Amino acid sequence: MSVITKNSEILFIYDAKLCNPNGDPDEENRPRMDYDTGRNLVSDVRLKRYLRDYWLGIGYDIWVRRIEESGEEKTVTAKQRIDLLAKEFGAKSAKEAQKKPEFKGWLLDKLVDIRIFGATMPIGEEGARGASMTLTGPVQFSWGYSLNRVEILPSSTITSTFAGRGGEEKGEYGTMGKDWRVKYSVIAFYGLTSAWRARHTNLTEEDITLLDRSMIKALPLEATTRSKIGQTPRLYMRVEYKDDTTFLGDLRSYISIIPEEGLSDIADFKMECSRLEELLNGNREKINKIVLWKHPDLKGAVFEKLKDITVEVSPGEENEESEES
């Protein structure tokens, strides 16, 4: 597998209808918002979580995960996770494993999310400062924001009730919370792939192909909890350049939707991408190819001038498993 040698920039757009794309725990789990502009916000961590869970589900191993112990899944600390990996490698601890030059390469071969997103892995004793292995991921995303002004629906109060656990605990116990949701949000993410960073994590062309497919497939398969149902990918574009130095900048700056207010469904707007098309067409000598996928229900986002350098994404088989499983 060859390490990538070309930079890319990514535009990813999905919509969220009557759900909570990314709750803020400091705000009663309200959808994250920029109240000055009325824009809905989604963190890059939320997007990466969908991707990681999808990769785990199709047979890849990942760094950020829960582990199975005695037949049950449990959350582990980063220190516990790296020590478990070190033992699988054949060392007594991560501190011992780090002394072997092949350990880093073994980790990168094993964990797809480190090759793509990087990680900070504690090597010394729990809580020891500075004792860590840090790999900056070649693929990074900014926070997502909505292209439209978003209305948050009035919250209803939700309750849950459960029985006492046994012993002296008797009766029923309950919790209460708020169920905040957006009416409709068209969320856009900008990302990039750095060939310079890829040299340090061994990011391959095969990994990038996996990322292309996963950006389309992860969201509808993983956003299936009660508050997350209602999110659908609408547009994915990856602009691959001919070298490892070119970046044109945040592609979201060159798109808009018409209208930007009063939306409740994908049928209510058209995506205007003419400025993005002109930007890319004017820099076509720097572009190796454009990887593109568009949902059939999305109006607009037509790139006629770029057809000769555009390749459609092939999502692959639904239950495709990795060669690493």
pLDDT band per the 50, 70, 90 thresholds, residue 323: very low
Contact 170, 164 (CB under 8 A): yes
Q: Provide the whole-model pTM.
A: 0.90
d(CA 220, CA 243): 33
pLDDT mean across residues, the chain:
90
Contact 33, 42 (CB under 8 A): no
What pLDDT does residue 325 have? 39
Amino acid letter, residue 183? K
What pLDDT does residue 71 have? 65
What are the residue ranges of helices labelled H in the chain? 44-57, 78-89, 94-98, 102-110, 112-117, 195-201, 205-222, 274-282
pLDDT tens by residue, 29-40: 999 999 999 999
Going 137 to 283 to 238 to 151, the CA torsion angle's sign is positive
pLDDT tens by residue, 254-305: 999 999 999 999 999 999 999 999 999 999 999 999 999 999 999 999 999 9
Residue 37 DSSP class: T
Burial degree of 249 (CB within 10 A; 0-12, 13-18, 19+): exposed
d(CA 156, CA 227): 13
pLDDT band per the 50, 70, 90 thresholds, residue 225: very high
Amino acid letter, residue 1? M
Cα distances (Å, whole numbers) of residue 185 to 32, 148, 224? 12, 7, 17
What pLDDT does residue 314 have? 75
**Region class of 190: left (phi > 0), else alpha (psi between -120 and 50), else beta:** beta
pLDDT tens by residue, 99-152: 999 999 999 999 999 999 999 999 876 555 557 889 999 999 999 999 999 999
pLDDT tens by residue, 170-201: 555 555 568 999 999 999 999 999 999 999 99
What pLDDT does residue 226 have? 94
- Provide the β-strand partners of residue 11: 190, 237
pLDDT tens by residue, 51-99: 999 999 999 999 988 777 666 777 888 888 999 999 999 999 999 999 9
